[in-house]
Amino acid sequence: MKANAGVLLLFSGSLLLAGCGPSGEDELRAWMVEQRASTKPSIQPLSEPKKFIPEPYAQDGAVEPFSPTKLTLALKRDSNQVASNAALIAPEMTRRKESLEAYPLDTIAMVGSLNKSGLPTALVKVDNLIYQIKVGSYLGQNYGKVIRITESSIQLREIVQDATGDWIERPASLDLQEGKK
């Protein structure tokens, strides 16, 4: 045990002596002083702020934006809009969905058309299956109802929500995809 203590004491003493020796820190300090002296910061001056010129309020005789009558009219208009939106989407929610309403419209391709008993009929392809579509059929996930079929396209009326959450009608179409297999 005494031998280990002696070795430990000798090792500790040598570490203390090594720590007191010269280091490269003096060179580093001299280099940092030189760099600070030679580096000039480039600071761009701030531009002058724009002068604020107040405008006088000139709407003394105008309608007050927070008047109770104006707010009442706005609320009535909003409730009428909600009622018309509900009337637009309600029939779509109560009817039975058709099989092609499970597919997004961009995955359905029109591949042909024909006249069947004098009625225009379109041929559409979904997942390598061909379906016959008539006016009044539904396609796509946005309540798309077929309103017109020509030799080269299918016109639809879709019901979608706009940015404010209101239900609106929008036109859509599928064009004939020639040479698509």
Question: Taking 70 as the threshold, does the pLDDT of residue 82 lie above it?
Answer: no
Mean pLDDT lowest among 85-89, 150-154, 175-179: 85-89
- Indicate if the alpha-carbon torsion angle 138, 144, 145, 150 is positive or negative: negative
Residues 6+ apart with CB under 8 A from 110: 122, 123, 124, 125, 153, 154, 174, 175, 176, 177
The sheet carrying 167-175 orders its strands as 138-139, 144-149, 153-161, 167-175
Residue 180 confidence (pLDDT): 58
CA separation for the pair 118, 107 (Å, rounded): 28
CA separation for the pair 160, 85 (Å, rounded): 11
Residue 111 confidence (pLDDT): 94
Least Cα distance to 109 among 148, 140, 63, 134 occurs for 140
pTM over the 0.75 mark: no
Mean pLDDT lowest among 18-22, 106-110, 169-173: 18-22
Q: Is the backbone of residue 145 left (phi > 0), alpha (psi -120 to 50) or beta? A: beta
Residue 142 confidence (pLDDT): 92
Q: Where are the domains of the chain?
A: 99-175
Residue 162 confidence (pLDDT): 81
Residue 163 confidence (pLDDT): 76
Question: Taking 60 as the threshold, does the pLDDT of residue 1 lie above it?
Answer: no
pLDDT band, residue 81 (cuts 50/70/90) = low
Residue 137 confidence (pLDDT): 94
Q: What is the pLDDT of residues 7-50, one digit of tens each?
A: 777 777 776 666 665 667 888 889 999 988 888 878 888 889 89
Residue 56 confidence (pLDDT): 82
* Strand ranges in the chain using DSSP code E only, listed in sequence order: 109-116, 119-126, 129-133, 138-139, 144-149, 153-161, 167-175
Residue 3 confidence (pLDDT): 63
Mean of pLDDT over the chain: 83
Residue length, the chain?
181
Q: What is the pLDDT of residues 113-151, one digit of tens each?
A: 999 888 999 999 999 999 999 999 999 999 999 999 999
CA separation for the pair 68, 48 (Å, rounded): 45
Q: Yes or no: say if 156 and 140 are a contact pair by the CB < 8 Å rule.
A: yes
Assign domain 99-175 one CATH number from 3.90.850.10, 3.40.47.10, 2.30.30.830, 2.60.120.480: 2.30.30.830
